Chain A
Amino acid sequence: MHTAIETDGKTMFVYLEGELDHHNAGGVRDKIDEFAAAFCPEHAVLDFGGVGFMDSSGIGLVMGRYKLLQTFGCTLELRNLSPHAYKVMRLAGLEKIAVLKKGKEGREDNASAK
């Protein structure tokens, strides 16, 4: 699984590519946490455009990153979710902790966001 991380100084952009399962989640987690701890961004965008498969490991990854980012007041956004990834995220109620955007155009669905 390939993970690229960029920042514009305020926002951290994480581009995920590959299959997000238990086998791959640990490596992705370490990369994000290392970068986030060093830069303390205001906003974090996880881009799922390159994710071909995702199971509940993806939910765990998002929940864990939310807890970490929250400690320094960073907000979280999930972008370019496939219909399947969106279904998995919604199953876990992640729209309550992050802004979820589907597809390439990024239709917002944060009506229920706190």
Chain B
Amino acid sequence: MFDTGWMADAENIPGPAPGSDPASDAPHRGRDHLRLLGERVAPLLAAHERTLPALDPLRDLFPDGVLRRGWTIAVGGEVATSLALAVAAGPSASGSWTAVVGDPGLGLAAAAEAGVVLERLLMVEAPGSRGAVEATAALVGAVDVLLVGSEVRFGAADHRRLAARLRERGSVLIRLAEGRRHGAGVWTGGARSSNGWVGGSHGADVCLRIVSSRWRGLEDGWGLLRSRRVSVQVTGRGAAGRPRTVDLLLPGPDGSPVLLGPAARDATAPLRSIEEGPADLGCPGAGDAAVVA
């Protein structure tokens, strides 16, 4: 069951300099072997530990298809909540804990549909202007993923401290951008910045922004909101720097995100199949089978 093949490699690792007294050096030699072995194995473990998995459809958003521990991810645009939930869902589904700070209106049913495991979710509501900032700082390291609501304001100093703490403790911070516009013209806090949303992207490693979105399924007097086609624009620093756009169904027909393939991006044909949903969608509960297989 346990493949101990690598143990044999231990024999090939050069020990201490030849010629030393084998009797007195025996314990040292063992320890050196262990140390060398440890060094050989360590990067491998760390590579795995330095990242958190992303949901399959979201892999194109991130370099190497994974979330790097210590990242701050800013999510903006008009329909950012679903995207933030989808980003959080990857680590959550693979065993990480998620904490939501300062966002009491988060739709937990939608979170569950996106793939967030509710058993490993803490909803934190700290009172006072500094409460949320303090709570966020305390949660770094204790949970793998932090989802911070757009109402929470971080100063520039807070950002720096948080970023350092995130890198040290290896959590990922997902930030709903401040001053997002809620469709019908209602602004929830935050000043409108020159290009509309960047308030929360300050100092972020990865910025995800929804540049266009289009709902399917709801018609004039019948149907249901079924799925939404969005284009996500990715910008960022360092490895995440290459700007690109990814098309997704977010949420997909069952609430979880679906990647639209290159074919779908070019042609409208696959999208039409979404529009041709079952005709009996007129009332809730009827025909909610997945339309996109």
Indicate, yes or no, whether A interacts with B.
no
Show the binding face of B for A, using Cβ within 8 Å: none
